[in-house]
Structure 1
Amino acid sequence: MAESERLSKCIEWIDLSFVERDRTPEWAIQVGIRRHLADMSTRDASQFLDELGVQRSHIAAHNWVHKAELQPVSTVSADQLAVDEKVIRINGDDYWLYGAVDPQTNEILHFRLFPATTKQTTRWFLTELHRRYRLDGVEFLVDDADYLVNVLDEDGYRFQMISHGNRNAIERVFWEIERRTSSFATSFSHVEPQTAESWLKALAVRHNSRQS
């Protein structure tokens, strides 16, 4: 079987409804997105496709990722969720990435990027998370992050402060983000925060596809 045919058969989680009269074969768009999210810069993904006989620029590969608007979708299988926040550098400025992970499946439920970490941004994140997954009765696992602990306590959520065990699920996810971005850049540069958040959510979709 040709390499392009083999790769075109292994993709199930990318919706290409955004493609309108594109001159690129759909299998190539799918492969380009997957290779970029897996371990390649968009330039390397473009070169990879060129070796398969499809010539498209790294800008095209970049656009495919963000036009796909991938969003992590999961179900909550555990009575606990690991949540945390992490500083992300974008164009030299600090942004805060909030994340929630199901420690039973290691799936990412939600990512959200904010220009600051405050009680309000923390409440926005938790509200979005609850709206998507109906988390009545779920216990949140957190470390000593001030705003998360304070808001969870003030708003009556069940939570446990812990630095090991099931809470390590979110640490592993954040470590993977660091590893993945450092493979071609030490921070996001020359992109808008919305673009960085879009890429992070797409990475979450790819991560979840590997857990099932």
Structure 2
Amino acid sequence: MSDLVAELNSLDFGVYIGGPLQAAVQAQQASSMAAVEFIQEVGFEDNGSGGTQIRYVNFDYEKSTPNPDFDPDTAVGPANEKYIKSDVSLKVPFITMLTTPNLRIDTLDIDFNARLTSTETSNVSSKFAASAELGINYKVVNFKASASYQRTSSKGEKVEKSYSLNVKVHAVQDELPAGLDRVLTLLEDSIVSA
């Protein structure tokens, strides 16, 4: 009979369980590097002298604000409008308008099933055959007899192996790291309205 414990001990659990864990760590590292590349490519631009500067987006629009000198009893005219219109330019750091990719692996479930089935077979068969002939021919008697016996046996052992590996990964958009959050807050404070 096969030694099923030895069969199980021969499995390399480091590959079956460690492989998905290592892949998860590499995926987390790749996600972090993708965030760094995104910030570098989207948040900064060449300043023309070999360095980089923060990339801004400019918005120009017309803004209406209430006129503090408006008098409803006075005749309406250009000097006494209810709202004052002014042109405004807004300069916003581009990176503050986008969601920075920051994925985090939340859960990693590894299900590994090993099924070993050992079957031992034994077959024994016997076969007996006999025949006899009697012949009488003018005072001569002929008698023939034959017998045969055959026995066959076979033994076998069969081990069936079945493995299944199921890996479930759940990733979520993580909160911004504290340092990046502070930088983005500083950049939001640099929004200029003129």
Same fold (TM over 0.5): no
TM-score, with normalisation over the residues of structure 1?
0.17
TM-score, with normalisation over the residues of structure 2?
0.18
Which structure's CA Rg is the greater one? 2
